[in-house]
Amino acid sequence: MSRKFAIITREAFEEFMEQYKAKTSIRSVEGEIVYRIPLQNDLAIWVYSTINPISGESREKGEDAIRTVLMYKNSKAVMKESKTLRTKNWAKNLQDKIDDLQERTTEHRCPWGHPLVKRKGRGGKGSFYGCAIFPDCKYIYKGEKRLSDVYDPKNIPPRVK
């Protein structure tokens, strides 16, 4: 079964992004507009749109798909969702991926002050809270005390690379 790819205009994409209050748009090295959705704890969702800023339309079919990445301090990729194909259902599919990343963020931090995010276990089995800067910080919350009491401001954070 072949998929019907849709041309997405910049206007349509920006109208979709308004619901998330995407504050800035920048150009990536691939020549597309990247939207950032600010979240708590220095986290943001970056949406790589495939929209060419010059033509105002998505790239040709087969030339990539919409990518969604959870970023920490706008420099460290924490996790990413599978690509969103540019089909007629692109908006609903992208909304589901953005909502999933938003639900994985927490207000809590590891003992060194980095955000905790909800991660999925190996093979999709279970979930746990782990540090957003893994593998630089391998902290995993194991229920040893209340999650709100985990952060200790006296600890020095590991250096982020």
Model pTM? 0.84
Residues contacting residue 105 through CB under 8 Å, at least 6 positions apart: 39, 40, 41, 43, 70, 115, 117, 118
Closest CA to 13 of 44, 57, 59: 57
Residue 146: per-residue pLDDT:
67
Handedness of CA 101, 107, 129, 79 (dihedral sign): positive
Tens digits of residue pLDDT in 4-46: 888 889 999 999 999 999 976 667 667 789 999 999 999 999 9
Cα–Cα distance measured from residue 25 to residue 83, given in angstroms and rounded to the nearest whole number: 19
Q: Locate 86 and state its tokens.
A: 């540019």
